[in-house]
Amino acid sequence: MELETVIGLEVHAQLLTRSKIFCTCTTEFGRAPNESACPICLGMPGVLPVLNRTVVEFAMKLGLAVHATVARSCRFARKNYFYPDLPKGYQISQFEQPLCVGGHIDIQPNGGSKRIGLTRIHMEEDAGKLIHGENLGDPNSSYVDLNRAGIPLVEIVSEPDLSSPEEARAYLLKLKSLLQYLEVCDGNMEEGSLRCDANISLRPKGATALGTKTEIKNMNSFRNVQRALEYEIERQRAILSGGGTIHQETRLWDATQGVTLPMRSKEHAHDYRYFPEPDLVPLVVDEAWIVAVRATIPELPDEKRQRFERDYGLPAYDAEVLTTSRPLADYFETAARRYPKPKVVSNWVMGELLGALNRSGKEIGACPIAPENLAELLQLIDAGTISGKIAKTVFEEMFETSASPRAIVAEKGLTQISDSSAVERVVDEVIAANPEQLMQYRAGRTKLLGFFVGQVMKATHGKANPQLVNDLLREKLR
């Protein structure tokens, strides 16, 4: 029996607000443990939450960007469970009336296009962090740091529309790129600002009813999401093919062993006893607020990609790569405005620039080469001031020092020699100094042209105009 895979993702994204969702503590990352906490986020007796307006606006912004319906009225609810990282014994979340319902995200797996439906987007508070004893003193203890408690999150729940780990990965990457475009989340999975749980099941191909699902947690990178889902599909396939049944449960991905394992804790009697949060009042969203938030939405990746193809005449692949992040797209556009040969700019950005960034572990936002300088470099090549080869040297220097290409060329005397009499003098000298090679060349070993070019370039420290050198050598060697 042929089986097909059904995956739905629940993604938690930390919102880039300055303060927490219900108090005024900072959301700044990397402070000493329990330094960013106050009576409210510590859940002390008597405290009350007050909602951060920017959280609502960020969540609405995301909702509008994915074509969701923003509810005219929504409310918060308490999700009750005990855990040491949850100070109040309940999480303030949304349940019956979330902020956003519906919507979709389009992904382009293997060059095609597929629409992934969204169930809902809601706001909630993050829990604190638990550190296991092995990493901090007593192995028989766990340690609690509540700096993260109360950081605002949105939970984005997809429909079970994903049918492979590749699609799940593409969906996540697309969502990350959207969140970054909107500047509501930094999208960093490794640091936990983007987290993903998956519901996964198999069913006979063509069936409409869903099979029994498992929930996979603890996948903390894009690659791990794909690996964990691949593993889980095979695990379920093996059970079903052997006539077994899937046990509905939560499983944790173990990246070291490369397997999913059932949770061992006894904490899984899930009866969250949701009820409307009495400490927060309902939220009413009117048209004017929606309009105001919509106005803050920038051009999104899909629109930008299409525009890059259309307006710059870029191949689909280039447009896709250049629009994965807003700073990269902006970089390209700034450079392309100064140097209006988009494909040349695209080649340099996707080749040299992304390569250098990758090697140095830098983000585009921290790129040492200003886009204006990249454009100037390309202009220098066109003007014949430097050769393409010298340009790569200049590029490296620019990446090192952030200096302008003109300054580097001037300082290092890298201006190309295009004066034919000057080049001719060097060509003559080189030929005179290598009589043996000259004889061989004239005897038919025309491959030695390269040797002569090399000698001339060496003598001119690479600055001779290569075309001119070639032309002169061909003429004089004959």
Within residues 30-49, the interface with another protein by CB under 8 A covers 32-39, 42-49
Q: Please, what is the minimum distance in Å from the beta carbon of residue 248 to another protein?
A: 16
Instruction: Determine the size of the site formed for another protein (CB under 8 A).
Output: 71
What order of strands is seen across the sheet that includes strand 275-276?
90-93, 77-80, 275-276
Whether 184 and 61 have beta carbons less than 8 Å apart is answered as: yes
Total residue length of the chain: 478
* Contact pick of 2, 113, 138, 436 for another protein (by CB under 8 A): 138
Q: Please, what is the minimum distance in Å from the beta carbon of residue 258 to another protein?
A: 18
Token code pair at residue 109: 């797996």
Task: At 348, give phi and psi (nearest 5°).
Answer: -65, -40
Question: Is 13 among the residues that bind another protein (CB under 8 A)?
Answer: no
- Cβ burial, residue 338 (10 Å; 0-12/13-18/19+): middle
Identify which range of 219-227, 259-267, 319-327, 395-403 contacts another protein by CB under 8 A: 259-267
- Cβ burial, residue 453 (10 Å; 0-12/13-18/19+): middle
Whether 129 and 77 have beta carbons less than 8 Å apart is answered as: no
Identify which range of 101-109, 143-151, 184-192, 447-455 contacts another protein by CB under 8 A: 143-151
* Contact pick of 72, 136, 337, 365 for another protein (by CB under 8 A): 136
Residue ranges in 271-300 that form contacts with another protein under rule CB under 8 A: 271, 273-276, 278-284
Give the per-residue contact string, 101-120, with another protein (x = CB under 8 A; - = no).
Answer: --------------------
Residue ranges in 63-102 that form contacts with another protein under rule CB under 8 A: 75, 78, 80, 82, 84, 87-90
CB proximity list for 76: less than 8 A, separation 6 or greater: 51, 92, 93, 94, 123, 276, 277, 280
Identify which range of 14-22, 100-108, 411-419, 435-443 contacts another protein by CB under 8 A: 14-22
Decide: helix, strand or coil at residue 22: coil
The residue type found at 102 is G
Q: Please, what is the minimum distance in Å from the beta carbon of residue 145 to another protein?
A: 6
Identify which range of 128-136, 183-191, 312-320, 321-329 contacts another protein by CB under 8 A: 128-136
Token code pair at residue 214: 């498992």
Cβ distance to another protein smaller for residue 46 or 361: 46
* Contact pick of 113, 266, 288, 295 for another protein (by CB under 8 A): 266
Q: Give the residue from 382, 398, 399, 381 showing the smallest Cα distance to 390.
A: 381
The residue type found at 227 is R
- State the Cα–Cα distance between residues 468 and 438, nearest whole angstrom: 19
Cβ distance to another protein smaller for residue 84 or 204: 84
